[in-house]
Structure formats: C-alpha cells, structure tokens
Structure 1
Amino acid sequence: MSCFSCFSSKNTDNEGSSIPAPSSPDNLRERRTREVAARNGRPSDNTKIFTFRELATATSNFRQENLIGEGGFGRVYKGKLDKGQIVAVKQLDKNGLQGEKEFVVEVLMLSCLHHSNLVNLIGYCAAGDQRILVYEYMPLGSLEDHLFDIEPNQKPLDWNTRIKIALGAAKGLEHLHDKADPPVIYRDLKPSNILLNREFVAKLSDFGLAKLGPVGDTTGETLNVSSRVMGTYGYCAPEYQRTGYLTVKSDVYSFGVVLLELITGRRVIDTMRPSHEQNLITWAQPIFRDPSRFPQLADSLLRGEFPEKSLNQAVAVAAMCLQEEPTVRPLMSDVVTALSFLGPYSSTGPNHL
C-alpha cells in the first residue's frame, strides 16, 4: 500500500498543513524518494501533522532553556506534548543548510522506514514558512557528546558500550541497504547523527541527505551518479569525493571512520594535534598494516580496559571498511555479523540488540 495517504492534509486547524509538494515535479531525487515511500509500505498511524501553535506550546515558545542542539540546519528543542510525551523538536532555519527538498526527503524516509536503530519520527509541521520535525526524545544526546571533549567529571564510554553503539549504527545502515527497496544510501554518517537512548542503543537520525540506490542492487557495486557531493568532510568516501559516484559502499566507508573514532576517541580531522596526526585515517593507515601495533589505536581514556582480541578484530573491521577501493569493502550485513561477536552480546548471537 502506498505511503502517500499520510501526506494529504488531515488537519482542520488553519495553522496546520500537509507536507508541501516538491517545488520541481521533475526533480529525480524527490520523485525517487517518493518511490521508496511507496515501495516500503504505509507509515505509522502515529505520524502526525502538528500545528505551529502546538509545537510552540510544547517548547514554551522555543525558549532558550529548552534548546538541546544547534547546527547549520537550525535548532533542536526539548518539548512536551499535550499528552505528556517528551519529544525533540527540530526547527529548520529558513536560511540554513537543510532546505525544502531535505525536509521532504526526511519526512518521507522516516515515515516509511521503521527500525529499532533508526530514530522515530513522531510528526512534522509545514505551516506557512515553518518547517519543523518532531522526533522521539533521545535522552543521552549524540555519540559526539560522549566521545569527544569529555568533561573532567564525565565518565568516558567503556569498551563494551562503544561496541554496542557501533553495532546499533551498523544495524541501522544494514536495514537501509538490505531491507529498503530500493536501498537507501544514508550519506551523512557521523557521531553527531548517531543518537543514544538511556541504554546507549544507537539510532541514526537526520535523513535530509539520504539518497536512493539502484533498484535490485544487493552488491553495492552499481554506480549511482550524484549531481553534487554532499556530506561532511572526513566522513565521505574518497571515490565519492573525487567523482560524485555514490553506492552503499560509500556508507560503509563512513561507518569505518566512525568505528575508528570509537576505537581511538579521536576526531577524524583534528587540527589541534601534531601535523602527522591531524587526519585520523592517514595516521592509522600504517598501523593497520601491522597487527602488533593495533593496541596503539586504543583510546587512552579506556586505560587499557578492553579485551585485546576484541580490539584487534574491531580495528580489522574498521580497516576493511576504509579500503580505498569500494568493491573490496564489506557489505554492512558482514559488518553486523563481525561486530555481533565482539562484545558481551556474542553469547546470545547477532540478534541480541
């Protein structure tokens, strides 16, 4: 059944509005995004169209005290709906990086693609010039908040939690690549887009840059031409940066970057470090070639408290994901299988999380 019934106006309040029609009906990306919605079934009945007044009330008129995040896309506020549900309300900046097309893509994607490792879209508001997304509230914030610039009184992530987060993110990507029809290329995997619930279960968020792969592509080797390179510097696959050619293996590379950040506690680009260490991938490449040096990659905040075998295997997975040639990178299903046996979850098998 088609998803599109959820995008007709269901709101009798004059402030409410259904999702706007694409500004250009011939835009291939928007048309193909609507394809994935149609192919992947009807969205949750709970996806709601909010009025601006409802969301202003939920956030106390978008007060500064409720601000929990800010970026080029706009601001995110903690809110409370009239039934008491705590939510995250993302108000897109009218002049920000995330525009009308990205808003449409995100609503369509998250309304129709459901998985325990994808953030749940509760609803949206498209009233007038307002573009607002309402998500489930993730109380622990993003992975970035727990991995970098740790406060003196903040407990660093232990090894098992890092593997749990990596596995959750990998399962989210696996669902997009293997279960969605056509596959979805996430295109913007980075720590700030990996959100955490109270149990440190990872959920992918921010689907504004997501792109559809070729129908029936289960190998990740079919090229999908992108008109322009999008994403975040340091996380984009080298072939995508060079040519604009995009496949699911581009996401695999980005995952390798994030996994290496989890292992090392280092940002992929850090200009505060010595020149030869500023690019994490360049610094790690020689170490990848010598397994005896793998422990050198471990975050010093771990204080050596990790199983060396688990560390070595995690580094090996990261190295495979970061291969220069996309065709030799593993599929996300293979990555999930490998990571499933690195933490305390291995005794219950890959489906424990």
Structure 2
Amino acid sequence: MARMRVSAAAAAALFVAVVVASPLLASSQQPAMAPAAAAAPTNNSRLEKAYELGLLTDLAVFHLNSNRFCGSLPDSLRNLHRLHEIDVSNNHLSGSFPSQLLCLPDLKYVDLRFNNLCGEVPAAIFEKKIDALFINNNNFDFKLTESFSNSTASVIVLANLPKLGGCLPSSIGDMAETLNELVLLNSGISSCIPPEIGKLDKLTVLDLSFNGFAGALPETIGHMRALEQLNVAHNGLAGEIPDSICALPHLKNFTYSHNFFCGEPHRCLEVPHVDDRQNCIAGRPDQRSGEECIAFLHRPPVHCDAHGCIAPLSPPPPPPAVHYASPPPVY
C-alpha cells in the first residue's frame, strides 16, 4: 500500500503543520492563557471544535493518525483547497462520512480506516481523481453500485465493512488503466464474480475473501498478467480452478480455501504459496466431508443475473428493411 511520495518542501510543510496544528487543537480544549507548545496533548480531543484548522489554507498534508481523536472532522476542512493527503486513521472518530472532503480539488490520498464512522459513503468519492482510498474497519452502511467503477484510484481498501453489501459491478473493467490493489474482504458482497474483472491487467493484489461470492471462478482472471496475490477464500465458489490462473507469471500467493471447488490443475500446487483446504477436491488433504460436498451439489444452480449485478444486454438491432420488387404492371 504505497503512499504518495512527497517532496522535501512538502515534508517541511508537514512539520510546520504539526507544530501549528497542535496548539490550535489544544486551544479548543484549554484556557486562553495556556502556553502554546508543539507537544500539546491531543488525546481525546474533539476535532469538530478545532475550527481554526480551516485557517491553514496552504496545508498540503494532514496526518493525525493513531491518536485518540473523537467526534467528527471540522467542517472548516473544506477550506484547505491545497490539501493532497488526509490520514486520520486509527482514532475514535464518529458520525457520517466527512463530505467536506468532496470539496477539496487536489485531494489524492484519503485514509479514514479504523474509526467509528457510519452511514452512507457518497458515490461522489468514487468520482474524485484520488490515488488511494482506505475506508476499511468502520461502520459504513451502503451498497456497491456501478459508480464504484468510476474511481481512478490505484489502491482501494473497503475491507471489514460487513454492512457494505451490493455486488461487484460488471463495469469493474473500466478501472483497468489505474487500479493496482483491490481489497474487499469481509464486506458483505453477494454476487458472482463478473468475467469483466479479467480486464484489470495492472492489478497486483485482489482480495475477495470472506464474502458471499457464488458460481465459478472466472477464467478471465487468467488475463490479469500482473497479479501477485489472489484471495477468494471463505465464499461459495464452486467448479474447477481454471488452469490459466495458476499459470499467471507473477502469482505468488493463491488462497481459495473454504469454498466448494471440485478440481484444481496440478500447476496450482506449484504456486509458491497456495491454500486449497476445505474444498471438495479429491485426493487433497483437509477437505470438506463427502456429506457437505454432496449437499452442496444438490443446491439449486446459481443464476448470476438474480443478484441484479449483471449489466442488461443491449437490445438487438432492428432487422434490416426488406424491399420487395414492385410487381410488373398488368395490362
């Protein structure tokens, strides 16, 4: 998960911002006569009271991660029009998604993970030209829709959001030019994996584990030539593992345990780190019981379009006009 590289000037600006921001934050908690200090205590401070943060209009990098800040982000953050990075992860922030971030034209890096934020995540966040989005380990409650595919981020982590739900849209292939890492583990997604995912030929990390994915593992994943780590464990996937996936030249870690796969090419066992436990693969150790596998086979077949995730087919073109020759005149 690489962050944006910042110049020496930006790093210096960050140092100044920390020195300035600390007394500003403390001023909302302490008497006016309290001396300003770069090491002012910030534990348990309520950020929404730090209105003065909006005065730092030249701020480019804002990192207050791994503290004990609570409350919500101040609305005055919308004034920081030069802000490139915001990292407030690993705090006790609550309330809704900070919509003021949508007003920042130069924002490229958003890290809100490990907080107590809740409610909808605005679709507009996927419209912004950001490079990395981390909102995992919160209490957001929203559905993944087609707007997700509009994101130009290289890294997206929506993990451990069990109220997320929805499905992986078939338009996900539209993210091929920019997406490098996609982590959706334990996000309450129930759908088939769309074959269009194979268009993500720059993707290096794909984690879809601990969800409700069903059906077969698309053979098109074998087109993702840059893929290094693939995790689809703890789903309801079945069928055979496509040989083309295990033949990917850079694949180092392939985890497909706790599914209902019935076959795997020998090539898969040559992947440096592979986990095929708790499936229905004959001759492999630590598989599901025969009763479990038979019970699964007697389930109704999976209809991927039943999830409402498959893009509707375009109507067929109208038939060509038929021109009949005029009958010869009758005399």
TM-score (norm 1): 0.28
The higher-RCO structure (CA 8 Å, 6+ apart) is 1
Q: Which has the larger radius of gyration?
A: 2
* The structure with more helix, counted as a fraction of residues: 1
